[in-house]
Amino acid sequence: MDKKITHTLLLVDDEENILNSLKRILRNDGYRIFTATNAKEGLNILKQEPVSLVISDQRMPNMTGSEFLALARETAPDAVRIMLTGYADINAAMDAINQGSVYRFITKPWDDNDLLVTIRYALMQYELVLENRRLTQLTQRQNAELKDLNQGLEKRVEERTEKIRKMNRKLKNSFFVTIRVFTGLLGLFDPDLVAHSKRVAALSREIARRYGNLENPEYEAIELASLLHDIGLMSVPNNLLKKRKNQKTDSGRKLYQPFGGDRQWQIATQDQMTASERKLYQQHPVVGQMSLAGIENLDQVSVLVRAHHEHFDGSGYPDGLKDEEIPLGARIISVADTYDDLVYRCKMLEVDALATIKKKSWTAFDPETVIHLVDVLQQEAAAKKKENMITLQELKPGMVLSRDIETYSGRLLVAKDTEIKENYIAKLLSYNEIDPIVDRIYVYKSKEQRA
């Protein structure tokens, strides 16, 4: 509380000598003091001055002290009101206190000290009331301001979010149109290549997840680059691609190993591709990058496409990048691409394909990426025991999903453990047209295997 407050006091009594003696007693406390010899005069002062405390005699002509103090309460409700009264009027004083128009009364004759103490206490109470009100008002005002601010903020955040959502929807739509156009083109060119790309995208996505600290756009770029990584093959002459498709080992099995050193690889390449053909073939990542660069939002994707045949030790192409010079997404795609190629195109047993990849850790592949691939394949093997992998077209009512169905853009369509109903299939098929669904769908082999 501020001790420097100068209080204004109003003393009302028809007897001048009483007023004078009160003034004398109060002189040393530093108050501003107004006096009035009748109620009317007193009320006028109350209207004009910020009075903290009123002392009024009870017995006055025309109006009693309690009547005056009741009016004073209306004019200056905060001012503390004290009544001076003789013993004869104690009842009137008690009534006034009960009605709330008087804080307390002082009997005449008074003890000077008691009077001073009573007044000081009364003024302390006055200050407390005002301070309390000030703080309450401050809190209310701050609360109101905070509320306004919050509402404003919420509104602004909402508006901004909606704007971003709209922009994203627009961007995504045109983005997916672009991706669809490219995969459609790729499909016309070589349907096997599209199936391969979709599997690589799914595998890359799982490997990327094992890194745990990738941002959403990075995931998306990795998946999209996986889908489009071989788009540049469209520039490679057909007869050369056919040669590559039909590479055979001396044991009669199709084999393709994209890195040097192995006897089988030498047989496969030396027999099938001339040096100039290989040079031409190795241009496909550059051609791929060039077809995507410049398309809005595909810049990052195009960089990954260019680097998908780089090797960890710098022996890859087209730029001979090594280690972390190769973007992480490209290191992931490279592992997933080769693994899928070995299993699906070269018809290697999965276990042999994985062994081949592991052998090429540190040379062709980033060892960390290989570790993540091993983890993904182990988990898939465990899951395969209780689930079947099917395509969207093979999905039937009554089947129960063992994994979520998601789109390539990461949108969750149907959650794991959902039993498929007839109408879901129609919806999923039509959804697939707009935002393609990840190629593989997993269902439990039997309903009992549901977790």
Binding site for Fe ion (CB under 5 A): 230
Q: In whole angstroms, how far apart are CA 80 and each of 70, 275, 290, 299?
A: 12, 107, 88, 78
Q: Nearest-CB residue to Fe ion?
A: 230
Residue for token digits 């997933």? Answer: 336
Which residue's structure tokens are 């290549």? 193
Closest approach, Cβ 319 to Fe ion, in A, equals: 14
Query: Which of 122, 228 has the CB closer to Fe ion?
Result: 228
Query: What sections of 49-111 are H helices per DSSP?
Result: 65-75, 90-99
Nearest to 356 by CA among 447, 232, 263: 263
| Cβ 340 to Fe ion shortest distance, Å | 11
Q: Within 10 A of 90 (CB to CB), how many other CB atoms are there?
A: 13
Nearest to 7 by CA among 103, 94, 107, 127: 127
Residue 229 CA to its chain's centroid (Å): 32
C-beta closer to Fe ion: residue 230 or 387 = 230
Burial of 188 per CB tally in 10 Å (0-12, 13-18, 19+)? exposed
Q: Tell me the one-letter amino acid at 94.
A: M
Q: Which is nearer to Fe ion, 52 or 226 (CB)?
A: 226
Residue 192, burial from CB neighbour count under 10 angstroms (0-12, 13-18, 19+): exposed
Determine how β-strand 8-12 pairs with β-strand 32-36.
Answer: parallel
Distance CA 429, CA 413 (A): 11
What's the closest the beta carbon of residue 431 comes to Fe ion, in angstroms? Answer: 29
Report the nearest approach of Fe ion to the CB of residue 309 (Å): 6
Which residue, 65 or 288, is less far from Fe ion as judged by CB? Answer: 288
> Whose CA is closest to 172, among 435, 438, 439, 437?
435
Q: Which is nearer to Fe ion, 230 or 340 (CB)?
A: 230
Q: Which is nearer to Fe ion, 11 or 346 (CB)?
A: 346
Question: Least distance to Fe ion from the beta carbon of 308, Å?
Answer: 6
Tell me how far apart the alpha carbons of residues 206 and 133 are, in angstroms, rounded to a whole number.
Answer: 63
Q: How far is the CB of 230 from Fe ion (least distance, A)?
A: 4
Residue with tokens 């079947």: 388
Query: Whose Cβ is closer to Fe ion: residue 33's or residue 195's?
Result: 195
What torsion do the CA atoms of 332, 335, 339, 344 make, to the nearest 10 degrees?
A: 60
Nearer to Fe ion, 230 or 310 (CB): 230
**In the bound complex, what is the minimum distance in angstroms from residue 196's beta carbon to Fe ion?**
10
Task: Give the nearest distance from C-beta 232 to Fe ion in angstroms.
Answer: 7
